[in-house]
């Protein structure tokens, strides 16, 4: 056996065991798009989707993508350097205006947007300062920069959501410039960053720039869905925001907001932008159509999401379930045990409700949970069904609080 076969075999041990026991929960193939879909011919409602405004399958979005498909096909066969369309440029201008920034750059994924932005700025004069629960795109951008000759920034972590810890790290960093990287909402826990305190701390330190990844806040927070900065009246005080089309914007794609110079610098430096194919125009058209809808009635859409989230939160808490640190529409049901998470997930799935378990190493041992995201696309019936199943099977499998 070659070493790659041996390595694969030994590292797959845990996964093979779960597959054999028929409790492996990932990569289950859906048979259609949207929150209401099916697996193996069985209908289900998906509570682990990030389609927060439930607009991914809106007829207008699908129609716009169809039209763009006829004109631009599925792909542009090159990177943005030589495959930019009027649709990309128009959407960037509209997004910048809507979100209140001078400029915007659309990447092919949010992951690439973050990696490229970090790589474009981090060098020997920089300390990258990360929350210790950062998303993989922040970690990977950081480690890539740290491991790249000629870049090699200092890397420091602060305690999750602690402005005090951040202040300490910024105060004793070794490099002249600091780039602080946080998320608006942390997607595994559903808690918001204490953004006012963090902005204040960053403003108290010289040469310190804050970057907010608002993947889960764009389109969900603030009266007009402009995200965590709108919600906490901080627009104009954070120089860089990174986001994505893969949650509320109905498709896939990364977004960078900043000043014209910052965005143009990233545009000419970010290898994840320069050396990967441009976002297909049907996806651009879908995002542009969702932006039309936000421009038209963001207040109504966002309010509806929050009404539904409040209903589900009350239902989950009334049952006694433990929602961990959640304060948003992302409300993990804490199981705090791998077997409980896997078995509850399977029982729910058998009954038409998908809540994907998150287990080690995605979270620490003892923090296993079910991913529960409430979206505007869920109905009262969906939520009542999920609550009733959680009550029955959560009790049967001994979930904390039941």
Ligand X SMILES: Cc1ncc(COP(=O)(O)O)c(C=O)c1O
Name the site residues for ligand X (rule: CB under 6 A): 109-111, 114, 135, 137, 183, 187, 213, 215, 244, 246, 252, 254
For 371-380, letters b (16+ CB in 10 Å) and e give bbbbbbbbee
Cβ closest to ligand X, residue 126 vs residue 244:
244
Scanning the structure block, which residue is given the tokens 């259609």?
A: 32
Helix (H/G/I), strand (E/B), else coil: 84: coil
Q: Considering the complex, what minimum distance in angstroms separates the CB of residue 273 from ligand X?
A: 13
> Which pair of structure tokens corresponds to residue 115?
């990696």
Cβ closest to ligand X, residue 137 vs residue 228:
137
Q: Are 218 and 248 in contact (CB under 8 A)?
A: yes
- Residue number of the CB atom closest to ligand X: 110
Q: Considering the complex, what minimum distance in angstroms separates the CB of residue 133 from ligand X?
A: 10
Cβ closest to ligand X, residue 266 vs residue 387:
266
Cβ closest to ligand X, residue 183 vs residue 391:
183
Cβ closest to ligand X, residue 183 vs residue 230:
183
Question: CA-based diameter of the chain, in Å?
Answer: 61
The pairs formed by 202-206 with CB atoms below 8 angstroms and a separation of 24 or more are 202/166, 202/170, 203/237, 204/167, 205/167, 205/170, 205/171, 205/178
Cβ closest to ligand X, residue 52 vs residue 393:
52
Q: Are 160 and 133 in contact (CB under 8 A)?
A: yes
Q: How far apart are CA 232 and CA 222, in angstroms?
A: 8
Q: Considering the complex, what minimum distance in angstroms separates the CB of residue 247 from ligand X?
A: 7
Q: Considering the complex, what minimum distance in angstroms separates the CB of residue 131 from ligand X?
A: 11
Q: Considering the complex, what minimum distance in angstroms separates the CB of residue 203 from ligand X?
A: 23
The number of residues in the chain equals: 402
User: What is the number of other CB atoms lying within 10 angstroms of the CB of residue 16?
Assistant: 11
Q: Considering the complex, what minimum distance in angstroms separates the CB of residue 398 from ligand X?
A: 30
């Amino acid at each position: 056996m070659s070493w790659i076969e041996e390595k694969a075999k030994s590292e797959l041990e845990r996964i093979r065991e779960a597959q054999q026991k028929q409790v492996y929960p990932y990569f289950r193939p859906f048979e259609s798009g949207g929150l209401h879909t099916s697996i193996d011919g069985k209908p289900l409602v998906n509570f682990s989707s990030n389609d927060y405004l439930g607009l991914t399958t809106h007829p207008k979005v699908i129609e716009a993508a169809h039209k763009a498909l006829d004109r631009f096909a599925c792909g542009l066969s090159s990177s943005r350097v030589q495959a930019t369309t009027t649709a990309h440029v128009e959407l960037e201008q509209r997004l910048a205006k809507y979100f209140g920034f001078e400029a915007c750059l659309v990447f092919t994924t949010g992951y690439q947007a973050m990696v490229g932005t970090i790589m474009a700025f981090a060098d020997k004069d920089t300390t990258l300062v990360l929350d210790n629960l950062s998303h993989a795109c922040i970690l990977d951008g950081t480690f890539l920069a740290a491991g790249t000759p000629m870049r090699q920034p200092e890397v420091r972590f602060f305690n999750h959501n602690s402005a005090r810890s951040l202040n300490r790290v910024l105060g004793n960093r070794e490099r002249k410039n600091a780039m602080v990287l946080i998320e608006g909402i942390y997607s595994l826990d559903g808690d918001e960053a204490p953004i006012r305190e963090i902005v204040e701390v960053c403003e108290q330190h010289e040469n310190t720039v804050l970057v907010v990844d608002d993947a889960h806040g764009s389109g969900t927070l603030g009266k007009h869905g402009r995200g965590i900065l709108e919600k906490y009246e901080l627009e104009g005080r954070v120089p860089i925001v990174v986001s994505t089309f893969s949650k509320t914007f109905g498709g896939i794609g990364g977004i960078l907001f900043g000043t014209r110079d910052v965005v143009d610098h990233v545009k000419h430096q970010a290898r994840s932008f320069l050396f990967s194919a441009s976002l297909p125009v049907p996806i651009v058209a879908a995002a542009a159509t969702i932006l039309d809808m936000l421009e038209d009635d963001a207040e109504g859409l966002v309010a509806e999401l929050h009404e539904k989230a409040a209903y589900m939160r009350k239902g989950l808490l009334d049952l006694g379930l433990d929602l961990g640190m959640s304060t948003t529409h992302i409300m993990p049901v804490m199981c705090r045990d791998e077997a409980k998470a896997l078995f509850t997930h399977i029982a729910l799935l058998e009954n038409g409700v998908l809540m994907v378990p998150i287990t080690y190493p995605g979270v620490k041992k003892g923090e296993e949970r079910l991913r529960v995201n409430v979206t505007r696309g869920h109905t009262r019936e969906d939520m009542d069904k999920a609550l009733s199943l959680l009550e029955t099977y959560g009790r049967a499998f001994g979930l904390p609080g039941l």
